[in-house]
Amino acid sequence: MNKINQLFAERPRDKKFLSLYFCAGCPTLDGTADVIKTLERRGIDFIEVGIPFSDPLADGPVIQSAATQALKNGMSLRLLFKQLRAIRHEVHIPLILMGYLNPILHYGLEAFFKSCAECGVSGAIIPDLPFDDYMQTVKPLADQYGLRVIMLITPETSADRIRLIDASTDGFIYMVSSAAITGAQKSFDEQKQEYFRRIDAMQLRNPRMIGFGISNRQTLQAANANAAGAIIGSKFVTLLNEAEGDADAALDRLFEDLRK
């Protein structure tokens, strides 16, 4: 069974998951493996590893800066797969690669999913992947190699499209908290809370994880109250940079901030 499916299938009723995102190759080129192993050791449920790209349209300044630094450091998709392959037997939680379509197409679509399977990666998030292209071209290849392609929904996504995504994907649905770019927020306003409740009432087949803007106890609790858990990106990337790549120190700070 795919590790993502297994994670959610075995989830206790009251369990809320926490996923963290960081950009491969930032702040150091060779730190990716250590960050992953540290996050697993510290109890993170699954990890999103960012593929750096020069034009990350959905990302705010924190992740844009991380991608720029990673590219300057020399990170590439080919090198990332080499680093992941070296630790595939040491890491047991699901790994999901998150990146834009351009570098994946440059690497080769089938080659990408084949390399994911060989390196122990369980899924991919491709924010700029058109749904029609997913259905016609990407999904068959992902299915062939046992990978899950996670689709995003936003407050602007229609109910019909959400149900189509729910019926056509597997693993979980990435529920973007707002239509804005990534970045930490102090709270989720009533409009976002209503969006969470509206999607919850749809009783979708797939579990949902809420991301974008989660950085403190209030936003974390709002995500956990309306989904299977939360995804934290910009906040952790900032703390990891401040800690100069020391994932233990970054996690200590993150957990402290999530209690505030």
Considering 45, 48, 166, 170, which one is annotated as catalytic? 48
What does the pLDDT read at residue 236? Answer: 97
At 186-243, the pLDDT tens digits run: 557 788 889 999 999 999 999 999 999 898 999 999 999 999 999 999 999 999 999 9
Give the global pTM.
0.94
Q: Which two tokens stand for residue 255?
A: 């957990």
Cα four-point dihedral sign 2, 67, 108, 81:
negative
- Please spell the DSSP secondary structure of 93-114, one letter per residue: S-EEEE--HHHHHHH-HHHHHH
- pLDDT-based confidence at residue 60 (cuts at 50, 70, 90): confident
> Is 194 among the residues known to form the active site?
no
- Which pLDDT score, from 0 to 100, does residue 181 have? 46
48 catalytically annotated:
yes
Structure tokens at 60: 């705010």
Residue 260 pLDDT grade (very low, low, confident, very high; cuts 50, 70, 90):
confident
Contact 84, 37 (CB under 8 A): no
Choose the catalytic residue: 30, 34, 40, 59: 59
